[in-house]
Amino acid sequence: MGVTRLKRKDRRNKTFSRLEVQFLKIGRNIEIGSRSKEPKDSQVTKNNAVLDTLSKAK
């Protein structure tokens, strides 16, 4: 049996659902002192540091 191509709408949904899962994984709220601590060189940590300095500058 041959492989069927997804219709454009289904391909779009597949892509968006994958990106949504990725976004939720990256942006999850990590509790202080939890074992799943965010690495210090991760982009989320860098973004939070920049946001902190901006909020203190005001």
SS3 readout for the chain: CCCCCCCHHHHHHHHHHHHHHHHHHHCCCCCCCCCCCCCCCCHHHHHHHHHHHHHHHC
Kindly report, residue by residue over 12-49, the tens digit of the pLDDT: 888 888 888 877 777 666 555 555 666 778 888 888 88
Residue 52 in any domain: the answer is yes
Q: How many domains does the chain contain in total?
A: 1
Cβ-based neighbour number of residue 58 at 10 Å: 4
- Enclosing domain of residue 16: 8-27+40-57
Residue 15 in any domain: the answer is yes
Residue 35 in any domain: the answer is no
Residue 32 in any domain: the answer is no
Q: What is the pTM of this model?
A: 0.34
